[in-house]
Structure formats: C-alpha cells, structure tokens
Structure 1
Amino acid sequence: MMGPGPQALMASKFLKHLRPSTLKDQRGPGPPEEPPETAELVDDPDMAVRLSGTLSLSEDSLGSDTSDGTEGRLLEEPNAHPLLTQQLKEMWAHSHEHGVPIRLTFEVTEANIVRDIHAKYVMYTIYLLHSGQYDPSPAFVTCRYSDLERLRKSLRSHYPEQMNNVSFPRKRLHKNFTAETIAKRSRAFEQFLCHVSSVPTLRYSPQFLGFFYLSDMQKAQQLTCTGLYNLALPKLTNCWRLQEKLCPTWASTHRLIVLAGLVVCHQELDTLAEAQAYSEQAVALLQESQEQNMTFLIPFLQAHIQLSWRVGRDKMASEAALLKLKEAGHSTSNAPTLKEILIKETIN
C-alpha cells in the first residue's frame, strides 16, 4: 500500500497547526506565525476545553486545486493511534486537574478524497471518544460535508434558538480538495459537533442521534434479515458504541433493536458468551426503565435464560422475572423471538 502523497502530508501539517493545545504553553510565547487563511479560528488557549466551536472559512484563494481524480488520504499523524493523540492526552490531563465537565469529544482522524461515477468529494472519518479517561471502545462515523450540512439545517429548523450562534464552514465554489481546505474543515467539524453535543436539547434530539447511527442500523437490519451476520455485526457493534456515548441511559427502542441485533448475530455466529452478555445488558436496561416494554422484555428474558444455560451462567433471576410476568397475565409462550422482532420492526 502506498504512503500518503504530498497533498495528504500537507493537509496533515495544516490540521496539526489548527489544533491548538488545550494546555497553556509553559515555555512562554514563541515568534508570531502568519495564519494560512484570514478569518479562520478565533483562537484562545481554552477553546477546545470549552467546546465553543467558532471556526469559519474565508473565500480567499488557497492554492491550486486537485482535479485529476486520484484518491488522497489525510492522516493527522501517520504513526499515531487515533485514540491517543497528544491533543487528547493534554485535554484529559487538563480536565482531570481542573474538573472541567467534558464527557465527549470528536476527532477527525482521516479525510479521503473519493471520486465515483457521479461526483468527487471528501469523506471524513470522525471518532467519538469519552474524555477524561482512556477510551477502550471508540466509535466513529464517516460522512461528507453535505451530510453535516444537512444535519446543521435540520437542527436549525427544529431548534433555531439553540443553533443561533453555532458556526459552520461555508460552502466553497472552488478549491474544495486542497490540503488547507480539508484541514480547516476537519477542525471546523470537530468544533461544530462538540458545540452541538454540549447542549442537551441538541445532543438528545432525534436529528442529532439519528445522524450518527440510523443509517447503519437500517443497513445492519437488512444484513441480519438476509443471514449476513458477519457483515451486520461490525455495524451493530459501532452503533452500540455510538449509542453508549451519545444516548441517555434509558431503554429506547433504537438501543433495544441494536442489542437484539447483537444477540442474534453473536448467537448465529456461535459466539455465545458475547450473545449472553448483550442479552444481560438488555434485560438490565428494561428492568431499570420506569415503563417496561413487554414487546422486548419477554424475548430478551427468554434469550437470556437460554444463552445463560448454554454458557453455564446463572439464569435464576431471569427465570423468576419471566414467571412473575406470566403470573401477572402476560403471554410468554407466543412471544416473538428477537430475530422475528428484527424482521418486523421498522427503523426510523
């Protein structure tokens, strides 16, 4: 595999330049640097910690465009693990020392220039990470500028007051594929998402949540229903990690559908310990919720009992819960299986 070309390396330098440290430099101010573009980021040492997102792009010429159809990749640091960049290390240290209530951060780790039959565009990979500690289960989303722009328009339509001061990079008629433009947009997208996620009304909105996992949920459902469990499983796993980071802790229908998919896929692929663990999480979620969803509770209890027996885990609590539901008049013998629920449920 070929290494990154000159354009990708240049973009990497720009992206690194646009990510100011979240800690104040203890060595004193250095020589002033000329910014590569006017009206870029309203800089301030604590900008990333406050998650205030104020990046905008000017329409100045940024150099020659690339239009030869070749693919390019932007990597912040060619040899760096995306989960532990210097920026995140510093942010974690800073938040731990000063008690800053940061829970979620966004980082663009890759930007690929793609050209298909219909168009040429940049595909961004954005990782979601819990800040303040090492995150062993990162989640990511891939999207284009147009995807994020649709998200912004949808949020502005439904929540105009909360979105009033949220900045977003402007469209450009030319030079969308230069390293500098890609790097600046990467930084802008990070701050845009951080800003939106810091406002509870926006973060828990169906528009914001759906942007991250709804499409993959629908694809995973199709794959599961056609028996392609090995292809559905990675999508479902990433969906679950996204939901763990973004969603409230209650047993929403979307969370339960993803858990049902994970149980079914692991069971069909004969990874029974994982299937049992996910069924146990689902039962706990449902039993902790104020309004128990019987459509899901009974099938998850039945799956948990069967899987616990097969892997040699305790199933007495689930058996007692199922018996209690039966005594309360709920039908347990004709309940649909998790796979049947996945086939019938409409995801929207």
Structure 2
Amino acid sequence: MSWFPALILLAAVPTGEALTPAESMLADHVTQTISSSEWLGALAPVALSPFFGITCLAGLAQFGGDWFPAHSLLLQKSTVLNHPAVFWVFLVLTLVTSLPRFTKVSKPIAQALDQIEAWSGLITLLTVRLLLWTVPAGDAAPPDVVHAGFLSVSADVLLILAGIFNFLVINAVKFFFECLVWITPLPFLDACFELANKALCLSLAILYGYSPFAATVINLLLFGGCLLIFRWSHRRVLYFRTLLLDPIWATAFPGYSRPGAELVVFPQRAFGPFPACIRLTLQRTESGWKLRQPRLLGQSPEVHIPDHVTAVVSIGLLGHSLTFEGSDLPPMTFSRRHTSRWNEFLEAFRLRMGR
C-alpha cells in the first residue's frame, strides 16, 4: 500500500520520448549536483503533510512557470515531478486522507491511516531522489566518500539518511499534536488545525520554489524544535496509536484480541526508572507481576510487583485503567484490544474488576 505512490512515479518516468540536447545536459547535471539544500528543503512540507507536500512540489514543477526562479533541480523539466499523473494522483490522495481530519467523528479513520500516508510520502520522495541518483560514468568525478571507522559511506547516502531522520521526527511531532487536538473537546478545532497545517505546508513549498536554501533553514529550525520534544512526544504518539489502532485491528482480525503472555500498558505518571506514558509490558509471574520496558540495546529495566497486591481494572471510553491497590505504583492505561474476550483476559492476568 505504501509503495503505490512510488509506483506512480516509476510509471511516470519517460521511456520512449527523446530529450533535447539541452534537456539531456540538464539531466546529467541534476544527477550529479543535487545539493543538500535542494534535498533537505523539500522535506519539511512533505513531513507536515506527505501527500499534499508531494502535490505542492509537483504543482510547482508543472505550473510554476515564470513565477518561481526554479533554483531547485528537483523541479526541473527532466524530473518525474513534471508528469501530470503525479500531480493529479497525489491531489486525489490528499483529498481522500484530509477530509476525514476535519471532524472528530471521522478523524480516527485518518489517524489510523496516518502511518500509511507518512511512509508513502517518504518512499515517494526517496524515489524522486533515487531516480536522479546515478553513478557518474567515464571520466566523471567520483562521488564524495566519508570514512568512518571501517566503513566508507557515500556522502549522498549520509544525506539521504539524515533526510529520513528529519522527516520522521517532524512527522511524529505533527501526529502528536493532531491527536492532542482530537481529544480536545472544542468543535471545529480539528478543521482549523488541518487548514493551518496545509497552509504551512503550502507556504514552505512555495518558499522552496523561490529559495531551497531558505527552505532548508526553516526546515532545520523546525527540525530542531521538534527534536527538543521528540522523546517526550514520541512516548505519547505510541500511547495514542496503541489506544486508537488496537481496537481497529482486534475488530478486523479477531485473533488479535486473544490475550497473550504480555499486556501493553502506559503509566499515567513517572515512577522508578520509567517516565510517564512510556510503553511497558505487564507479565504474569508465579510471585505476582512484572513490568518491563523492552529495549533493543542494553538491559531492559524491570519492576516486580508482589502477589499480595490487588490489580483492579476500570472500564474507560478510549482505554481501560489498571490500578495496583496496596502499592505506590501509578495507574496504568491499556487499550480496548481484549474487550471482546474480557473474562479470558481477566483470568489470564489475574485481574479484578473495579466497582
């Protein structure tokens, strides 16, 4: 699903149409001199709104005309962004994914598809970049290489990896604020936020058309601000996504609702080695329970809960609450994933229902 927009770009690559000598020289120039500003400057609008960002860039390439100095080689005539299908396909995708975000009732649908849109936008932008990235032939100068320890990494590869990290950080923080707006009980706030997001995306794309360097400066400032709160917001993004998506997957795939060996929980406040809203797993043990934060590297911190503590569950609207009575542990929130197998779930983790 995420690869579909990228396939549109591949289909838009001209195969049988010959380029003029001037266009051929320009294409060779593009493949060898995509600068960091021309790459990083285009990331901010796509990170804020992936489908709309690609639509704006394609619109600048096709309809900009003499309005923009066209400093960016990504917007030149020889690139796939100039193909009409790219603009219209992404415009349709923008409408399909944006309209549900205007109301609180339909917004969960768009939020559930947010990951697909984000990865589709990133894959599409990488496809545009990679289609312009060829190995210089003949006596052309070799690409810059950065030596790091035992590895020799192309500067282009480092630039692409930096762009991916840039994109993911900005998009994750944007998603957090979307969820925050959604749970705020104010009418029309979702529509106002979506319109403001699209306006900012369009403004950054237009700025990119005038000056990729200026767009890169704004992108780096935006990235720096998002990076400061990334870890804090990323924990809450996982929290929102779990509460939002788990019931959907459990409805679509009934087997997903079957209780397993672990229950994903999120503490409502910090305690011990764990910050608030961190993703933890709860496991039943012979002597009680074990709370654990899985880590890819290093030792995973754990907290053991003795058997004399009573684990009480309270039903909630968006998620359920788990309280360990007789301990100083904070309440834990978990999703509605196991609601359809409630009795089996309570027995598997030895939990009691609250009053």
TM-score when normalising by structure 2: 0.27
> Which has the greater radius of gyration?
2
Pick the structure with more helix per residue. 2
